[in-house]
Amino acid sequence: MLTKTYKVNGMHCASCVALIEDRLKKIGGVGSVSVKLSSEVAAVDFNSEEIDIGVLNDTISPFGYTLSDTLNKNMNHAEHGQGQDGGWIDMALEMKFVLPLVAFSFIMMLWEILSGKGFAPSMPSIVSDASKNLMPIFASFVLFGIGRKYIKAVWIFIKTRTANMDTLVGLSTVTAFIYSLAITVFEKQLSPYLNVSSNFYDVVIVVIGLIALGQHLETKAKKKTNEALQKLASLGSKDALVIRGGKEMRLPVEKVEIGDIVIIKPNERIPLDGVITSGASSIDESNLTGESIPVDKVINDIVFAGTQNFQGILHIKITKNPKDTALAHIISIVENAQNSKAPVERMADRISRVFVYIVIGLSLASFALWMILGPASMGEAKAFALAISASMAVLVIACPCSLGLATPTAIIAGVGKGAERGILVKNAESLEKLSKTTAIVFDKTGTLTENKLAIEGIYCKDKNHNCDEEHVNLHKSIAYSLAKSSKHPISESVAHWLGENKTKALPLLNLKEIAGNGMNAEYEGRQYYFGSLAFISRSIGKSEETIKKDFNDSRFVMGRELYLANDSEVLSLIKIHDTVKEDSKEEIKKLRELGLKVVMATGDNKKTGEAVAQELGIDEVYTDVKPEDKLKIIKGLQEKGFKVAMIGDGVNDAPALSQADVAISMSDGSDIAIESSDIILLKGDIKKVAEAVRISQKTNRIVWQNLISSFAYNSIGLPIAGGILFPFLGWILSPAIAGSIMAFESVTVVTNSLRIKRMKL
């Protein structure tokens, strides 16, 4: 299945989202469609091959929408998030012309209301006459200027019977304008039937002007929710200084090839992933990992695109093309997550599909009720004016935009906040699920402990673990010669430790490795064995109990042993243990304070596993487990009612990660596209776990605050606009006031979502 992303033009509310998705899905060859109001982006899945954009636009253009291909750009994403800038500037210019008219109309409207109630002096006739003559001109300028799209929305509704928020605004303002114009032109003829002293020109100006202002502020706020992705996009370099044929030349990054040597000067950004071949420096990786401390880099170290060189001149051999860099993967993951939909958002979308039509129905019902019940108590002329006013107020106070923005703006801000901190969330659903997690299961090695093992020492069979220096050196040399020939992580750790201690290698013969057990080789006519207790026991014919007894030492708790033996006896024991990560204990404490049950599952023996768990303050520990056993542990917790997050290395933990409600992987930064994970912690940073949980919880709270606010606003506002308070208080909501309230409801939702960006971690 092929997926392509498009910029959507002409979209204004959640009902637009529903309409575009429904229409595009009906095209043959289109699998699924996901449209995001917050980012104005549509992700279209094609069943086989891509469908021409013209065909897609032919389907939705009759409803006022078009797709553009501007998002499918080159890898550096430097233009990301800038597509709306031109529109934002146009809106700012419109505001300069319209807001003075809105202010004038609002002042005139309030003066008239207050003077009628005796709270202000009567309006002088010169002012009243000037207002009466100017308001039709101002209203025409606003309606046929920035209000053109609302007229178009009404026309589309008449032709296609499809509606969105623009339709609601258009129906109310066009109705208000036609009613007012009729009174102005046919004042004498209509005076016996209508109250010709009142018109709704101010409604046209105030509603359109304030809604435009609200959309202007909303667009500005939405841009802020997406600043994290824009910041990542800005890290990409457009060119690089390359050495070719012995000459230095500056080339666009798209023309730099794998294997090229690139020169990076102080304070320059690294254009592509590569390996240092010359020089040393400190590299600022904070924009990718969230870590503020620069990382020292020397020859053979890996460096990443988008990071900044602080000091020396570096020569880097390029290893990744622009589309495969760590930065490109991060941007892709963040984009996909921000454009994905959480389950709660799908609920809001379903409501939005019918919301606009419900509002139109309520508006007509409000008009009908006023015309049925009003004339008996206030006369037909006044009842008709109030019926028009109430029906318009219902149309303009409804705010489908707030429903459409409630979830995605919070998701964008939450995903962006995570990206800033080196926490990559792959989709919105994972963020929602993490907020509901009640138990978290850790793999031990590489997660709570360092990937590199620590060597405690090499000990002889003597009960005091003392050997003469000659024997110690011989045993070390044989162990070193065997270990350095293996690629097993434990053997590599032993070889590294012995090598650092300047151990000499010996010429071994007939070296053999038995996977998962150990190694043996010949030296000076004798066979030597190096490996696990079971392997040594089988190799020399001694029981494990006897060997353990010879090397018993209660000092060593957290660890495992490797033994060195010749063909007749065990010579030495090398004691190895995992090094607990510096921040593991504090992180476990934070997770428990957040109310999570913390579990550790490890392949180590019971003694070692329980010692680590006790040191870290872990609630529950499972030892001697294989990868398939971890899956059973996850299932067991889920059967007890826990929502489980699993944290592992993404390789041998894949079955358990797949079973968990949320799969979290630790990454060293070079491999961030871990398929079995929902959330990736860059650089394997254990400190990011509690941060990820807190970000998810904060995001989920704000999503629900936004949704509850939107539902409450519409549930309370619509009846009040319809005039439900009039029989009790003699008060009805002006359409102009209703429009101004609606204009700022969406802004409130987006502004609330921005609180995620400001949360302190």
Give the active site residues. 443
SS3 687: coil
Strands 644-648 and 662-666: parallel
Query: If we measure between CA atoms, which residue out of 322, 323, 320, 291 comes closest to residue 303?
Result: 320
Long-range contacts, stretch 82-89, CB < 8 angstroms, 24+ apart: 82/230, 83/7, 83/40, 84/40, 84/219, 84/223, 87/219, 88/216, 88/219, 88/220, 88/223
Asked if residue 321 lies in contact with residue 668, where contact means CB atoms within 8 angstroms, the answer is no
CB atoms within 10 A of CB 760: 4
Is residue 573 within a helix (H) or strand (E), and if so which, with residue range? strand 570-580
C-alpha 653: how far from its chain's center? 24
Return the structure tokens found at 563.
């033994």
Q: Is 436 helix (H, G, I), strand (E, B) or coil?
A: coil
Decide: 686 and 584 in contact? Cβ < 8 Å: yes
Q: Which amino acid is at 13?
A: C
Q: Which two tokens stand for residue 597?
A: 């049950």
Chain centroid offset of residue 26 CA: 29
**How many Å is the maximal CA-CA distance in the chain?**
125
Nearest residue to 389 via CA among 759, 616, 113, 103 = 113
C-alpha–C-alpha distance, residues 753 and 702, integer Å: 6
CA angle at 307 for the pair 301 and 312, rounded to the nearest 5°: 65
Residue of 203, 60, 207, 85 lying closest to 146 (CA atoms)? 207
Q: Any long-range contacts for 470-473 (C-beta under 8 Å, 24+ apart)?
A: 471/571, 473/503, 473/504
> Rounded CA gap, 256 and 272, in Å?
9
